[in-house]
Structure formats: structure tokens, C-alpha cells
């Protein structure tokens, strides 16, 4: 049973999150021939101030881009 964990910042619509779950499920099914009903997808949404790369949070990066 494939388990796919995804961490992303908050701010996406329910439709976008649903689409992500769908595409990841199909991708696992195609890649490893896992039955669709056995694929597990877990989405972890974090605040943009709690997610950083290169010592810059996503929130800081967004503000700098504006």
C-alpha cells in the first residue's frame, strides 16, 4: 500500500487539493501498479511562516515578490 505524504503551505482551494490527491493517486497506480483503493495520500498544510528554504520563509518570499 503506497503512502504519499505531501507538505505544502496553506492557501490552496479545496478543488486544488482534491485535484492533487487525484493526480498523486493515479500516478502511484500507474508507476507501481498499486490498486487505486490501496493508495493513501496525506496532505500536511503548514503556515507560510512555518516553511522556509535558504533561511527565508515562504511568507517573506511572497512579500518580497510583491
Residue ranges making up the domain that contains 40: 3-65
Per DSSP, the chain holds a count of helices (H) and strands (E) of 2, 4
Check residue 31 and give its pLDDT.
98
Check residue 52 and give its pLDDT.
95
Check residue 36 and give its pLDDT.
97
Q: How many structural domains compose the chain?
A: 1
State the average pLDDT for the chain.
Answer: 97
The Cα 19–Cα 26 span in angstroms is: 11
> Any idea which residues carry the catalytic annotation?
2
- State phi, psi for 2 to the nearest 5 degrees: -70, 135
Long-range CB contacts for residues 18-24, cutoff 8 Å, separation at least 24: none
CATH of the domain at 53: 3.30.429.10
Structure-block grid coordinates of residue 53? 528554504
Average pLDDT over residues 15-44: 98
pTM, to two decimals: 0.86
Amino acid at each position: 500500500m503506497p503512502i504519499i505524504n505531501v507538505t505544502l503551505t496553506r492557501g490552496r482551494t479545496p478543488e486544488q487539493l482534491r485535484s492533487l490527491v487525484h493526480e498523486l493517486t493515479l500516478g502511484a497506480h500507474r508507476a507501481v501498479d498499486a490498486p487505486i483503493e490501496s493508495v493513501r495520500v496525506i496532505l500536511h498544510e503548514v503556515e507560510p511562516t512555518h516553511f522556509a528554504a535558504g533561511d527565508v520563509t515562504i511568507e517573506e518570499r511572497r512579500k518580497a515578490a510583491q
